[in-house]
Structure 1
Amino acid sequence: MLAAGGAFAAGVLNGKPPQAPPAVAATPTPTPTPEARPAPIPLPVADRIRTCSVAELAADPRLANMQAQVMNASTGAVLFDRGGDTASRTASVLKVLTSAAALSVLGPDYRATTRVVAGAEPGSVVLVGGGDVTLSRTPSGTETVYPGAAHLDDLADQVEQAWEANPDNPPMTKLILDASYFGGDEWHPTWAPAERELGYMSPITALQVDGARDDPSSNTSYRSADPIGQAGEAFADALGGGLTIERGTAPADAALLGQVSSPSVADLIDKALIVSDNSVAEMLARLVAIQSGSGNTFDAIQAGVVAGLMPYGIDTTGITVIDGSGLSDSNAVAPAYLTRLFVKINAREGNLGLVFDSLPIAGGPRGSLSYSDRFTGDSAVADGSVFAKTGWIDTGYTLAGIVHAEDGTPLTFAMYALGDVSDDAKQALDAFAAGIYRCGDNLSNS
């Protein structure tokens, strides 16, 4: 200490300012970091509690083994489901898929054409079927079950005029029938033979008249076992008779002598759906298969129809299409596929508005839901609000379509009653449809 004092004194004496001792830097106090707080977990949005139940209607024993699905067409919410994802036989509801595929592949304006060309032998002509089951042997101007159908007498007039216009032609002596546009079996092995005898289905050939009916004016009429021969005899008569009739094929690049065309696909769909015409549905399915490149037999229908459904953007996995009419109990489509397709039909996407316009309507004015045994009693509350395709085969009754519900909600539905069912299953299906009409968006799945 004495030394330090001496040094300080010496500095003063020497004229130097005194030096302060070096400052000691203060250590900053760290600011505490607040602990991270966990983000709040969002509360789940509560499902709407729907209180209108159709469980009792769905449990009706008349429905046997029941499958069903109901969807809100505006939101896509499935409101009711009982086995909706299981692919099962559809009966004539399958015609909705056939129609949608036809609109996609063929287009609404497509027409099937029946032609007559010159044969390879002098004096011969060839009648070439183009798949038109609506072609009629009745006189032109006659109304058959197929509005707008072409008539053989018109075709015969064209042929006679073309034949006479060429002075080198000898007398016409032979008619050759070419039905090769459709191949394979004419009758599917899963179809009951009684369907033809009872008047519900014709053999499927590329050349036939009036759907092979005995009575062209009756939807249900005994069908010929030989549609090609029936058509050939009718055309030979229209040409004046006396012709030898044979089966064969037209020569390549043969001179065209005349042609007539079927009603449009749009008109054919109306016939297939509104009164469930099986022969027209098979005609459409076969033309779809041919146009899509899958073939011209029953075996080609699966690939053709499924390809025609693909543009609608709905998963087709599990769909089995054996025929175009739904008559086979080997067809399989899940109700869930139909509810989604009907959402697009209700929205009239693309050309699907044509399907909507051809659906039978509960209470009329036309079609299979206008019959006296449909939507009767309490079910009549839904008259005018259910637009749906009916179906019936020995092993099931079906109903699928659109309901414009009492609360304004558009619903789509598909319901199958399968197994040991009888005719009164139709009334149980109607009661279910009327029930979802009353419930609307308040329909409960329980």
Structure 2
Amino acid sequence: MAEEEAPASPAQPRGEHARSWRLLTAAAFVVVLLVLAGTATLITARYADSFRSGQVHAIAPPPPLVTLEPAILPVSSAAPIPSRDEVAAALAPLLSDPALGSLAGQISDANTGTVLWTQDPASQRIPASSVKLLTAAAALLVIPHDSRAETLVVAGDEPGVAVLIGTGDVTLSGQPDGAATYYGGAARLDDLVAQLRDSDTEISRVLVDTDAYTGARLAPGWNGESVGEGYIAPMEPVMLDGGRIEPLEPESPRWEEPAIAAGRTLAERLGADPAEVGIGSASDDAPVLARVSSAPLRVRVEQAMQLSDNVLAEAIGREVAIAEGEPASFRGAARAVRSVLAEHGVAMDGVDLADTSGLSRDNALPVSVLDGLMVRAAADDDGPGEREEPTGSQQAGLLRPLLDLLPVAAGTGTLEDRFFDSAEAGAGWVRAKTGTLEGVSALTGYVVTQRGRVLTFAFISTDSNAFEARPALDALAAQLRTLPRAGE
């Protein structure tokens, strides 16, 4: 193949035109030299005079760099409290929105505990995922915040048999090293595999020990289709990526037998037959061959709140049950959560729990309980200001992280795509836990008013279209942000 020709050079001037070209070029060159020489003479003369007079001045140094000290400043307890009449007047135009259906709600001043507005606060309502607030609070109160759930592999009773033991880490990931995981900071199955290979233990069969949990795998009041729809997995103490078949998809269908699925994945990676995986109990004194740990409790609670993750909330509920000496079952977890909060001064009258995620339609509670919990969490270390029965500093310190773990309006978690349009005033200022079931929409959290007062709130809308009720609830919370000083 012929090579591509180089482009022709520009045509050169010839004859008289060439001589004229050379003269013009020379003249231009002389002009440039004269200009440069003149400039140099002026500069030299200027600085020669300065040197002779001794008045040469150094160039001033640049100003010092500005140092920024970012800080989150606390709100002032002296910020004005909106009056009850003012709150009622601000909400009145919004309460007529038919999208709210049947609304129950309560709003309080976080510092004093004073109730500023109520509507049907004592009636039992289906709370949906608002239940996760109760579960998270109970966990923060009775479990060390740096506590981790372990997954182990121990030697079986027969040669070549290994037993995978779960203690409740449902975030364990089957994703390979370096790949993203659904739950940040999750332990990996591959770490167990690496430890087993390093131990030079020959493994020909894998069993899975699920004895850490007892009772039914599905809670009363759960929709039987929720597993296939990706809202929940049958609760077992070991599973991969929350039981997801597609490990990075939030609403991926879940395995019907998540513990067996985890065991089969382990067997495959060890070169054992996945078809031979079954359920079996390990001996109490079985040698530990491999061990991994979950992220700390505080991280897992945040993930449950931000993602509204039902499986993770149920697992945390069972951790509360174990801490309280209850069975690690739906009933045991629900009973433990309720008793922990009651023991720590949260009014639990009218609270009926069938699970600890809020997925069950058998759950019921008054909104006053949710708002009261927010007030407790927001209490000052020395007690909530003017309330007659102050909360102890230890409790306040343990519960306060609950406020930081809530989604931010128009920013994070389940509120990332909410609080726009008519609710835009609340964007960035409202933090709240959402709740959605068919015919139910809930929102519980707190907001800082434009004058710097922290208000807590809890709203539950029933007999409504949940997706239409969401923006209506957002508008109520956002309206609290706009409240001016009482009397103005």
TM-score above 0.5, yes or no: yes
- For residues 464 and 406 of structure 2, the distance between their equivalents in structure 1, rounded to whole angstroms, comes to 27
1:238 aligns with 2:269: yes
Alignment of 1:41-440 (within 5 A): 50-52=85-87, 53=89, 54-164=91-201, 171-242=202-273, 244-347=276-379, 349-364=396-411, 366-371=412-417, 374-439=418-483
Structure 1 stretches of 5 or more lacking a match? 1-46, 165-170
Moved more, 275-284 or 333-342: 333-342
Contact 1:50 1:442 in 2 (8 A): no
Cα distance in 1, alignment partners of residues 227 and 419 from structure 2: 29
User: CA separation in 2, counterparts of 1:103 and 1:219?
Assistant: 25
Q: Give the whole-Å Cα distance in 2 for the aligned partners of 1:362 and 1:318.
A: 29
The amino acid across from 1:378 in the alignment is S
Q: 1:351 to 1:142 in 2, by over 3 A?
A: farther
Residues 270, 358 of structure 1: 8 Å contact kept: yes
Tell me, yes or no, if the aligned pair for 2:203 and 2:270 is still in contact at 8 Å: no
Structure 2 distance, partners of 1:231, 1:72, is: 48
Q: SS state of the match for residue 350, structure 1?
A: helix
State the match for 1:167 in structure 2.
none
CA pair 198-60 structure 1, distance change in 2 beyond 3 A: same
Question: Cα deviation per residue 1:169-204 (whole Å; 9 max; x = unaligned)?
Answer: xx4222111111111111123111222222121111
Give CA deviations for 1:71-115 in whole Å, capped at 9, x if unaligned: 011222111101112232211111111001111122211111111
Q: Give CA-to-partner distance per residue, 1:210-246, whole Å, 9 cap, x none.
A: 1111221222211111101210111101212336322
Q: Quick check: 1:409–1:441 contact (8 Å CA) kept in 2?
A: no
Query: Does the C-alpha gap of structure 1 residues 267 and 125 become closer, same or farther in structure 2, counting only changes over 3 Å?
Result: same
Give the distance between the partners of 1:347 and 1:393, measured in 2 at CA. 30
Contact 1:91–1:327 (8 Å) recurs in 2: yes
Tell me the distance in 2 between the aligned counterparts of 1:217 and 1:199: 12
2:170 aligned counterpart, secondary structure: coil
Distance 1:390 1:61 in 2: 20
SS at match of 2:458: strand
Q: Which residue of the partner structure matches residue 20 of structure 2?
A: none
- Which protein has the bigger helix share? 2
Task: List gaps (5 residues or longer) in structure 2.
Answer: 1-81, 381-395
Q: For this pair of structures, how many residues does the alignment match?
A: 388
Cα separation, 1, equivalents of 2:437 and 2:321: 24
For the residue of structure 2 that corresponds to 1:128, the secondary structure is strand
Greater displacement, 228-237 / 335-344: 335-344
Give the 3 Å change call, closer, same or farther, for CA 422–343 of structure 1 in structure 2.
closer
Question: 1:122 and 1:256, CA in 2 relative to 1: closer, same or farther beyond 3 A?
Answer: same
Contact 2:86 2:486 in 1 (8 A): yes
How far apart, CA to CA, are the structure 2 residues paired with 1:49 and 1:361? 26
Structure of larger gyration radius: 1
Higher mean displacement: 292-301 or 344-353:
344-353
- Per-residue Cα deviation, 1:387-440 (whole angstroms, up to 9, x for no partner): 100110113000010011122211000000012424110011011111222226
Does the residue aligned with 1:408 lie in a helix, a strand or coil? coil
Q: Which residue identity does 2:306 align to in structure 1?
A: I
Residues 167, 212 of structure 2: 8 Å contact kept: yes
In structure 2, do the counterparts of structure 1 residues 57 and 73 end up closer, same or farther at CA, with 3 Å as the change threshold?
same
RMSD: 1.9
